[in-house]
A and B are shown apart, each in its own frame.
Chain A
């Protein structure tokens, strides 16, 4: 019996036990109490916290109304659609009291007391203090109400059974508000609180077990988000140049850093939101992440950029010269501010698999309207699958000291097929 089915069996047994014992997380909804008007200061605080928590990213459909839900979140067990958290009464959380909201964040239950799927990372939000949750509540309840019903979740049996989640929670949910570590500084604690709590960084950056729970022993050891690799932020970070707190702060706040790369894919909305968060908090997050990466051994340096005009054999080099070098070639002395990151230092080229580089090269990076940020054209359509594979292999070999990716072709195929089917 494989690992997954044995874990599943254990979970089912626990579920039966839980149902029989009528143990339930949380209590039924408070009566529909409408909270009074919120003071501006609390709402502003909640706005900051919601930005750290990046609530809008999951709870908004691409091109949809903010916080109105309906965004598909793919899990290994099927697709879950995010809920409408605008204060609309019928289809949103307009009838939720503050207590209901706190229970959702801390206990992972909805207003009716049913378990929420941990795609909503309450295993992290449980760490958030009552005060902060209340501020977020104030913020959420003052958004524009939108009437919108999310599509029904499409989860495979038996994951579609909410009661089963009680078992999952028993096994994997460590409930409780963050407890400061008195041996550490205030900034460290703030950083740990934000990273482990609202920031829910581990939700993407930590590997998960067969039942979809984070492996706590490998906290921030690298994970997944929407077919992108979320880089390791612990000792196994593959960055050839070690992160400094200043670089991490820049990366998170402005969306790029010259020694590591550009926030792309699912990380873009995160850095977009963090750009509006107060500096102190972002610095705290950066400081904490330096700590989680402190055991990182030195890595081989990135390769120097090939000299301009030097005859480089091979198709990959030729493609690079014609397609990439105008931005990614050796930076012109006259344009020191073009900010393209030296490719050898980028997280995507140093990642354990090729998926991130594939996404970036295929799709490009387009800033939102009016935003200053990386602008890179996508090369799907211009380059064939073979040519893309050749280019990617070249980039990995010529700019990094990492071993070649064995998986370019299948990942490429998968990503291109996925786009076709969208």
Chain B
């Protein structure tokens, strides 16, 4: 790999080639495609086609028969690239290997906002499915013209149109350039799902081979010619301002150091080699002195503190119908601490500021909103900033990726021409990323004489679950500039998606139900979207309480849930999970119990039911899942193994959150500075088995999968602990201290 010297000229081709497999070159883009595409009046186009209706924004066919598919979504490790390739390949009747998939890139993919909310398949998958089908029809029409036969006599197969008289026209032969420069139609001629040969198969992920052989796969692997390394020195805590840096010239004389960048309290160092940057960062950290930090709340008093903050009470649901009067009433309250994304690969970005234009390679979930935010921060026009998604490690929501991109942008502007690589340190990620917010819920319900729920009141109090940029005000480095940007007052995410109130409305049918969301705008600790958002806590609360009610009604927990559900797909996942688990034949033994839970993510997304068998050791307080069985309905299953992988992963991640995870802090700073202070599930605690059963719904809309398991798993664990030990614990995490205190003696 060449390391260019500052001031060397590198040809554009070399530049792009050096990105290797990570960065796909964009040919010069026709200006028309960059203009906002106004949606036509009339019926809505499927998925993201509505916002980006030109077919060539999504699919282009090359003269060599290769097919370029563009998506505004990003690969986060959830397998979306492979799934989208399968969808396109199916509708276009090509081998998936014929597809070149380009992901989120402000230079030319559609703008699909954030890869979040488990919406990728619904938004992008649907758009690509329809676009591909429509492109296929365009190809058929073109071939019919060329071969001078009726289109009905042609079928698409393996990258070619084949006539019933045997004549053949490969896609590439059909002069496909500009073929797709047409607007999408609201209706598409979709293939009959029963004829699918690619969708519905567990095609192996296209990104895995590079990942097991040391191929370039992540933004952390990006090496551009002339690239230099930077590290940021962050303040010792929220609110601290940089007072002075003693001996900066000496640090600039350290081996390999090019420059110290300082803008207000934003402090960074640029060096030739990565370890040189790290050593210089350490020296710079010692040399810097800071004003006092803001005070954080007392962790022991956290929930009382949160309850004293002003709230915006929003009534999400208020249903009254006459019913049998409640014979008995029950209530419970639950708490959840701050929990972190804790991505295993701390945030990283590469930026280059050259000729008045900035390019940022980033693992942000939303390159289009990020570009706007960075442009605002640098006071540049949007068009002069480009953000290109390159895969990072799993992010599980809004973590530090956007902040690292902003760091790189700031440093690149101060050190122009050469690409600048910024890598966050582990401690910086742990202490500065936006966490999943602490939440409180309380629920009250009444059972009638037959043990049915006749009244239900649910209350959830939470900070915002989204402070995504969205604006420079949500970029951490922008807060530290000499002319700082301030974080805007957050607004709640409206239903049906919801934020803190995601899944606060149960899917169960109750004659009387009231759900209130108490939105707390003031954020003493930095928060944003963590996988599943409020659904994790709301499903934990609701499904724990359902078990408590089932017990009061002397009913089986599974049967009790079915009693209150009329959604047939919900009933089916519940029954499947229970059956495969062996729910009706399970026998308890001392210290061992079973737990069950169900939810439909957002009441719009995937249906997941989880049953698990768990062991609690009373001397250590350690709970361990022995066996978990899940059933999932994600609609049309594009890649069943991909779905299983996401659900398995979601179960284990949720088990880690539920059993161990909480961000700790004292009044001075966050104290969960690294893995020693933020323990997570490790191999010895992993379950003995996890079985995921996928219910395929051919032809049904895609429902997404990525966040559906977290809530049900949490409740299933709490329910199993209660079954194993008679200890009902309502405060997350169900850690060893809590379990031991509840059951030891």
- Residues of chain A in range 301-354 having any CB-CB distance to chain B below 8 Å: 308-309, 325, 329-330, 332-339
CB of B673 within 8 A of CB of A144, answer no
- Residues of chain A in range 1-59 having any CB-CB distance to chain B below 8 Å: 40, 43-44, 47, 56
Measured between alpha carbons, how far is A414 from B289 in the docked complex, in Å?
47
Given A338-B427, A369-B685, A144 and B590 contact (CB-CB distance below 8 Å): yes
In the complex, 14 of the A-B residue pairs with CB atoms within 8 angstroms, ordered by the A residue number, are: A43-B745, A56-B619, A139-B745, A143-B619, A309-B280, A309-B283, A329-B282, A334-B234, A334-B428, A335-B427, A335-B428, A337-B668, A339-B676, A375-B675
Measured between alpha carbons, how far is A40 from B743 in the docked complex, in Å?
12
B113 beta carbon closer than 8 Å to chain A = no
Nearest Cβ on chain A to B227's Cβ, whole angstroms? 23
- Residues of chain B in range 232-260 having any CB-CB distance to chain A below 8 Å: 233-237, 254
Task: Tell me the nearest residue of chain A to B289, going by C-beta.
Answer: A333
A99 beta carbon closer than 8 Å to chain B = no
Nearest Cβ on chain B to A71's Cβ, whole angstroms? 14
Task: Tell me the nearest residue of chain B to A43, going by C-beta.
Answer: B745
- Residues of chain B in range 249-290 having any CB-CB distance to chain A below 8 Å: 254, 279-283, 285-286, 288-290
CB of A332 within 8 A of CB of B282, answer yes
Residues of B within 8 A of A66 (CB): 617, 619-620
A374 beta carbon closer than 8 Å to chain B = yes
CB of B675 within 8 A of CB of A337, answer no
Measured between alpha carbons, how far is A368 from B254 in the docked complex, in Å?
41
Measured between alpha carbons, how far is A368 from B431 in the docked complex, in Å?
23
Given A309-B254, A372-B664, A333 and B676 contact (CB-CB distance below 8 Å): no
Interface string of B669-706 (1 = CB under 8 A from A): 11101111111001011000000000000000000000
CB of B286 within 8 A of CB of A367, answer no
B660 beta carbon closer than 8 Å to chain A = yes
Residues of B within 8 A of A144 (CB): 590-591, 618
CB of B679 within 8 A of CB of A367, answer yes
- A residues at B contact (CB < 8 Å): 40, 43-44, 47, 56, 66-67, 139, 142-144, 276, 308-309, 325, 329-330, 332-339, 367-375
CB of B236 within 8 A of CB of A371, answer no
- Residues of chain B in range 146-171 having any CB-CB distance to chain A below 8 Å: none
Task: Tell me the nearest residue of chain A to B293, going by C-beta.
Answer: A336
CB of A333 within 8 A of CB of B288, answer yes
Nearest Cβ on chain B to A1's Cβ, whole angstroms? 48
Task: Tell me the nearest residue of chain B to A373, going by C-beta.
Answer: B676
- Residues of chain B in range 699-745 having any CB-CB distance to chain A below 8 Å: 735-737, 740, 744-745
B622 beta carbon closer than 8 Å to chain A = yes
B659 beta carbon closer than 8 Å to chain A = yes
Residues of B within 8 A of A371 (CB): 679, 736
- Residue of A47, A329, A332 most packed against chain B (CB within 10 A): A332
Measured between alpha carbons, how far is A183 from B736 in the docked complex, in Å?
41
Measured between alpha carbons, how far is A332 from B674 in the docked complex, in Å?
13
Measured between alpha carbons, how far is A338 from B428 in the docked complex, in Å?
11
Q: Which of A308, A368, A369 touches B282 (beta carbons < 8 Å)?
A: A308
Task: Tell me the nearest residue of chain A to B656, going by C-beta.
Answer: A370
Residues of A within 8 A of B285 (CB): 332-334
Task: Tell me the nearest residue of chain B to A45, going by C-beta.
Answer: B745
CB of A370 within 8 A of CB of B670, answer no
Measured between alpha carbons, how far is A287 from B685 in the docked complex, in Å?
38
Given A334-B236, A369-B679, A308 and B427 contact (CB-CB distance below 8 Å): no
Measured between alpha carbons, how far is A142 from B618 in the docked complex, in Å?
11
Q: Which of B619, B676, B677, B679 touches A370 (beta carbons < 8 Å)?
A: B679
Measured between alpha carbons, how far is A309 from B281 in the docked complex, in Å?
11
CB of B676 within 8 A of CB of A372, answer yes
Nearest Cβ on chain B to A96's Cβ, whole angstroms? 20
Nearest Cβ on chain B to A291's Cβ, whole angstroms? 30
Task: Tell me the nearest residue of chain B to A310, going by C-beta.
Answer: B283
Measured between alpha carbons, how far is A368 from B236 in the docked complex, in Å?
29
Nearest Cβ on chain A to B242's Cβ, whole angstroms? 10
Nearest Cβ on chain A to B92's Cβ, whole angstroms? 49
Residues of B within 8 A of A336 (CB): 236-237, 668-669
CB of A308 within 8 A of CB of B740, answer no
Residues of A within 8 A of B740 (CB): 276
Nearest Cβ on chain B to A225's Cβ, whole angstroms? 22
Apart from A43-B745, A44-B745, A339-B677: 8 A-B pairs, beta carbons within 8 A: A308-B282, A308-B286, A309-B282, A332-B233, A333-B288, A337-B666, A369-B660, A373-B676
Measured between alpha carbons, how far is A332 from B283 in the docked complex, in Å?
9
Measured between alpha carbons, how far is A214 from B282 in the docked complex, in Å?
48
Residues of B within 8 A of A309 (CB): 254, 279-280, 282-283
Interface string of B582-595 (1 = CB under 8 A from A): 00000000110000
Measured between alpha carbons, how far is A308 from B285 in the docked complex, in Å?
10
- Residue of B427, B682, B735 most packed against chain A (CB within 10 A): B427
Measured between alpha carbons, how far is A149 from B61 in the docked complex, in Å?
74
The 9 closest A-B CB pairs, nearest first, are: A375-B676, A66-B619, A335-B427, A332-B285, A337-B671, A370-B660, A334-B234, A333-B285, A338-B673
Measured between alpha carbons, how far is A389 from B564 in the docked complex, in Å?
69
CB of A335 within 8 A of CB of B676, answer no
Q: Which of A40, A56, A337, A368 touches B670 (beta carbons < 8 Å)?
A: A337
Nearest Cβ on chain B to A414's Cβ, whole angstroms? 29
Task: Tell me the nearest residue of chain A to B624, going by C-beta.
Answer: A369
Residues of A within 8 A of B679 (CB): 367, 369-372
Given A335-B427, A375-B675, A370 and B286 contact (CB-CB distance below 8 Å): no
Measured between alpha carbons, how far is A67 from B591 in the docked complex, in Å?
16
- Residue of A276, A333, A374 most packed against chain B (CB within 10 A): A333
- Residue of A336, A368, A373 most packed against chain B (CB within 10 A): A336
Nearest Cβ on chain B to A320's Cβ, whole angstroms? 13
Nearest Cβ on chain B to A213's Cβ, whole angstroms? 32
Nearest Cβ on chain B to A372's Cβ, whole angstroms? 5
Residues of B within 8 A of A373 (CB): 676
Given A144-B591, A370-B735, A372-B677, A337 and B619 contact (CB-CB distance below 8 Å): no
Nearest Cβ on chain A to B41's Cβ, whole angstroms? 54
Nearest Cβ on chain B to A99's Cβ, whole angstroms? 23
Residues of B within 8 A of A369 (CB): 622, 660, 679, 682, 684-685, 736
Residues of B within 8 A of A43 (CB): 745
Nearest Cβ on chain B to A250's Cβ, whole angstroms? 13
Measured between alpha carbons, how far is A313 from B289 in the docked complex, in Å?
29
Task: Tell me the nearest residue of chain A to B237, going by C-beta.
Answer: A336
Residues of B within 8 A of A276 (CB): 737, 740
- Residues of chain B in range 594-621 having any CB-CB distance to chain A below 8 Å: 617-620
Q: Which of A308, A367, A370, A372 touches B659 (beta carbons < 8 Å)?
A: A370
Measured between alpha carbons, how far is A144 from B427 in the docked complex, in Å?
42
Measured between alpha carbons, how far is A329 from B676 in the docked complex, in Å?
17
Given A144-B590, A337-B670, A367 and B283 contact (CB-CB distance below 8 Å): no
Residues of B within 8 A of A368 (CB): 620
Measured between alpha carbons, how far is A47 from B254 in the docked complex, in Å?
57
Task: Tell me the nearest residue of chain A to B618, going by C-beta.
Answer: A144
